[in-house]
């Protein structure tokens, strides 16, 4: 795995860019429903963009699971075999779920300019740090309060039978439960305790007065059920349950489709485990 430590090409969270906006094309859904939906697909020729995506995901895996500073130390100690020092999942089911979440994370960061201040995978350490309650929590900061994206990501190869994949309903229910349980403040507290780097000041400048209860710092919530799916099986109408659901707050539905997504996951994680 080739790793580039070039601050000019790093996001504020300390991971390299993977030029995702140059690999995806976006289409608007043909349905007009309560919640808008867009779909992103790899550009043609898809074999080339597929391999470029594989290489990009391989490149950022260390930074997803560990911070930039930790990766520098690991690289100095282990050289190019440093993948063994990073907690990459060995189970394919976990690899499959993680890959979909990481792809969605990269999409929101690079294509929607949403700042995701901390990656939940970095919190899964020997210190038994609590995981975030939502897959991804992103921000678009403005004065005095930001838009906060609550992003539930589900990955699937279902849909060949013509039935809406169950993960669509899982994403809806996960967001409903999260909102009704009022879990966001717990997650914001975890972010505040763990955020670092150049993101820290931006986040805490908003979070400190918000956590004090100053009314003008209350954020605008946007829920984003996000489905990463096998392109050859996905049908437009599968997104309709999420597009029609009333979450009680603003919602945007996102679909990312990839051909041979299971093969992509294997390519990313097998090569990463081999230190390539």
pLDDT tens-digit series, residues 32-78 = 999 999 999 999 999 999 999 999 999 888 888 887 777 777 777 76
pTM (two decimals): 0.91
Read off the DSSP letter of residue 123: G
Q: Higher pLDDT residue, 80 or 18?
A: 18
Read off the DSSP letter of residue 139: E
Q: Cα separation of 139 and 156, whole Å?
A: 26
Q: Which residues pair with 222 in a beta bridge?
A: 149, 250
Q: CB of 35 within 8 A of CB of 243?
A: yes
Q: Tens of pLDDT along 135-183?
A: 999 999 988 899 999 999 999 999 999 999 999 999 999 999 999 999 9
On the question of pLDDT at 241 being above 60, the answer is yes
Q: Cα separation of 247 and 261, whole Å?
A: 29
On the question of pLDDT at 134 being above 80, the answer is yes
Centre a 10 Å sphere on the Cβ of residue 169 and count the other Cβ atoms it contains.
Answer: 15
Nearest to 249 by CA among 153, 184, 140, 176: 176
């Amino acid at each position: 795995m080739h790793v580039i430590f070039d601050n000019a090409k790093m996001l504020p969270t300390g991971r390299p860019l993977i030029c995702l906006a140059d690999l995806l094309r976006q289409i608007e859904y043909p349905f007009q429903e309560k919640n808008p939906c867009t779909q992103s697909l790899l550009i043609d020729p898809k074999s080339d963009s597929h391999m470029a995506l594989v290489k990009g995901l391989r490149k950022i895996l260390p930074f997803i699971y560990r911070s930039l500073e930790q990766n520098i130390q690991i690289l100095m100690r282990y050289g190019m075999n440093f993948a063994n020092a990073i907690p990459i999942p060995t189970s394919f089911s976990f690899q499959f779920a993680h890959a979909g979440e990481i792809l969605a994370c990269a999409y929101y960061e690079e294509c929607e300019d949403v700042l995701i201040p901390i990656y939940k995978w970095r919190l899964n350490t020997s210190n038994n740090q609590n995981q975030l309650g939502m897959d991804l929590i992103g921000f678009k900061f403005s004065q005095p309060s930001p838009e906060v994206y609550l992003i539930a990501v589900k990955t699937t190869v279902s849909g060949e039978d013509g039935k809406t994949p169950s993960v669509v309903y899982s994403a809806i229910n996960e967001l409903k439960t999260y909102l009704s349980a009022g879990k966001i403040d717990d997650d914001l507290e975890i972010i505040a305790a763990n955020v670092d780097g150049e993101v820290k000041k931006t986040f805490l400048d908003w979070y400190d007065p918000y956590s004090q209860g100053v009314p003008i710092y209350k954020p605008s919530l946007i829920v984003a059920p996000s489905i990463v799916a096998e392109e050859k099986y996905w049908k437009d109408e599968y997104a309709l349950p999420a597009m029609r659901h009333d979450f009680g707050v603003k919602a945007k539905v996102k679909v990312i489709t990839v051909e041979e997504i299971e093969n992509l996951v294997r390519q990313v994680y097998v090569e990463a485990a081999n230190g390539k």
